[in-house]
Amino acid sequence: MMHTVIIGVGGVGGFFGGKIAHSGQKVTLVARGKHLEAIQSNGLQVKSIDGDFKVHPYRATQSIDEVEKADLILICTKSWQVTEAATLIKPLLHKDTVVLPLQNGADNAAKVASILPKTQVIGGLCKIYSKIEEPGVISHFGFRPELIFGELDKQITPRIQKVKEVFDKAGFTNTISKDIHVAIWSKFMFIATVSGLGALTRATIGEMYENTYTREMLRQTATEIYRVAIAKNVAVPNTIVEQIMHMISQQPYNATASTQRDIIQGRPSELENFNGFIVTEGKRLGIETPINSFTYSCLQPMEAKARNLSDSK
């Protein structure tokens, strides 16, 4: 039986890891704090619009030393924690272990592949609105959950089919992408577009789309990201900005992005990996990114303050 290890048991890791464990597969959850204690005592509870369930995984621990070698590792931390997570899991790898980072952002697979053997890393993303409701409890409150993944060289390999078997047995929608880079950048464009402006305006996705001025800022943000993607030779279609705007229009009116919520609540966020990444790559590639630069510059002082407070705890 495949052994799946989940690094980070928040909204994403808790839901998908919980589903895999609930299907009778061998799953180890690596978590910490009161959340871990609750899982160890009472199991992992998932409240879902697709049906609630509770599961006791094979193991839940904070210590990597207690984790057996893994066949599949899902890294479900925040994007700024990816490098640390990749270093942490080195002892869990055997020669055929597959590592799948599932963060929002465009360069997570590259970060993991800079630390672990590139041949063992695949790319992926997920579509879900979920969060930790309280210790030991995951709330899935929006989107039909979907996981999209694929080989970085775009091949359909036997091992990618094995990963699909794990997800199929778990019973959630999953798709092998023919070009995972395009899929990752498409989601990144959506999430980076709504997150920064949402944090800046304190408005919901519906409110931003409804307002003429902020809707145009959303469009310009996405257009800048598109230009950076093209410069990086990612084969995103030339209709992608319109697709993203349509996707934004279809979101629940009161929806907000997790990064937006983090910034508003004074927590460290993925700002650097979203708008900050586009600003940095834009400068490197000679592409102007005025809206992303404005958004990033306005939010950066709050981000620095949140990180200083977090580091001092």
- 116-150 confidence digits (pLDDT tens): 999 999 999 999 989 999 999 999 998 899 999 99
Between the CA of residue 305 and those of 115, 266, 302, what are the distances in Å? 29, 8, 5
Claim: this prediction has a pTM higher than 0.85: yes
Question: d(Cα 278, Cα 259) in Å, to the nearest integer?
Answer: 16
188 within 8 A of 106, measured Cβ to Cβ: yes
- List the beta bridge partners of residue 72: 4, 98
- Write out pLDDT tens, residues 157-202: 999 999 999 999 999 999 999 999 999 999 999 999 999 999 999 9
Q: Is the pLDDT of residue 98 over 70?
A: yes
28 within 8 A of 35, measured Cβ to Cβ: no
Structural domain harbouring 81: 3-178
208 and 276 fall within a common domain: yes
Domain count, the chain: 2
Q: What integer pLDDT is reported at residue 129 of this predicted model?
A: 85
171 and 27 fall within a common domain: yes
CATH code where residue 206 lies: 1.10.1040.10
278 and 158 fall within a common domain: no
Domain end position, chosen among 145, 178, 211: 178
Q: What integer pLDDT is reported at residue 142 of this predicted model?
A: 81
Q: What integer pLDDT is reported at residue 258 of this predicted model?
A: 84
205 and 74 fall within a common domain: no
Domain end position, chosen among 135, 151, 178: 178
Phi, psi of 280, deg, nearest 5 = -65, -50
